[in-house]
Amino acid sequence: MVEAKEMINETECETKFEPKLIGFLCNWCSYAGADLAGTSRVQYPPNIRIVRVMCTGRLDPQLILNTFRYGADGVLIAGCHEGDCHYIGGNYRAYRKYILLKEFVKKMGINEKRLRLEWVSASEGERFAKVVREMVDDIKEIGPSPFGVTTTGGVVEDEPEPKI
């Protein structure tokens, strides 16, 4: 009997993986969009912790890599749509860094779905919520990050032990 109970607990544990996401949002569009999701009372899963930056152009690849190193299961970078960046082209430069980062992250053995860049305007509260929902679902599917200090689980199959 006791055994059976433990088994149930274990399966519960497995389905209860709650990914930890870090979102880097630019102040002018995406942070405002996330605020609008709030003002409009749009609901989304509570898995994301948002860090405000003035512009996505600020995002240093090193910071993103550190974020994975500290155990984030996913990283969202969100900024203004093309042509809307408050600082003209910060988002374009962020995009170029993102392309390189994606390659790098893959080489580190991190599933590329864990890093996502989205353009979310100040009026797209619902879309911000949708992006978070999608990311949480995607990452639940692929499981905890191999760097995860927050999870007890071992390394996920398609993600070999990271080398850095």
- Cβ proximity to ligand FES: between 70 and 87 the closer is 87
Q: Pick the binder of ligand FES from 69, 86, 102, 140 (CB under 6 A).
A: 86
Question: Which own/partner pairs from 103-108 qualify as long-range (CB within 8 Å, at least 24 positions apart)?
Answer: 104/61, 104/65, 105/65, 105/68, 108/65, 108/68, 108/162, 108/163, 108/164
Q: What binding mask, one character per residue, do residues 141-160 give for another protein by CB under 8 A, x or -?
A: --------xx----------
State which H helix or E strand residue 164 sits in: none
Cα–Cα nearest to 73, from 99, 34, 47, 100: 47
- Cβ proximity to ligand FES: between 86 and 102 the closer is 86
- Cβ proximity to another protein: between 38 and 153 the closer is 38
- Cβ proximity to another protein: between 95 and 109 the closer is 95
Q: Pick the binder of another protein from 89, 153, 154, 160 (CB under 8 A).
A: 89
Q: Pick the binder of ligand FES from 65, 74, 76, 91 (CB under 6 A).
A: 91
The distance of closest approach from Cβ of residue 33 to another protein in the complex, given in angstroms and rounded to an integer, is 10
Q: What angle do CA 56, 59, 65 make, to 5 degrees?
A: 135
Q: How far is Cα 86 from Cα 92, in angstroms, rounded to an integer?
A: 12
